[in-house]
Amino acid sequence: MAQRLILASASPRRRELLAQADFVFEVQPAEIDETPLPDEPAAAYVVRLAMEKAQAVFASCGDPEARVLAADTSVVLTGGSNLGKPLHAADAARMLGQLSGRTHAVMTGLAAVDARRAVSAIEITQVFVDLIRADEIEAYVAGGEPLDKAGAYAIQGYAARWIPRIEGDYFNVVGLPIARTVALLRQLHEPEAGSTPE
């Protein structure tokens, strides 16, 4: 029998991508404090949150045989400014204005936990954005697509027209870097360094 897999995320994009990769799983979103630590770098922040989500769900699932996968994504502007999900329409418009004509990094922290070990990774994709006119931003925000997305855009949606290229994993920008996720889940079953296989 396959080991039970729990996705510690409410993101519909992550559910779709994990299913696309042919995983059978259930969903149990994590409830944790997502406040950044003082002076915490964005890369450290997303990995820490992913690990805390995975550990919280593993502790509460009541199944010592389960494995839990969690992820956290941030959109990071050059200079380190971190864009999360917009609070409202005006916040989404502000974020899109900041992204216009600039390159930013999409950072996803990943964590996988079972009773034996906990492993983590990070995937970083550079995204190049054309200049976006104010009226285009207004229309995009009015359509509602940006309101539940980190950085206030969906590369797989209407916003694709403003993204001429990326460097890195496209699926990371959508919501879950599939290849890195598969590799991380495999790590749970690998012998630890220095251990003797049974």
Provide the annotated active-site residues.
Answer: 72
> With contact defined as beta carbons under 8 Å apart, do 170 and 163 qualify?
no
44: exposed, middle or buried (C-beta count within 10 Å: 0-12, 13-18, 19+)?
A: middle
Assigned token pair, 120: 């983590």
**Cα angle at 92 between 74 and 173, to 5 degrees?**
35
> With contact defined as beta carbons under 8 Å apart, do 175 and 17 qualify?
yes
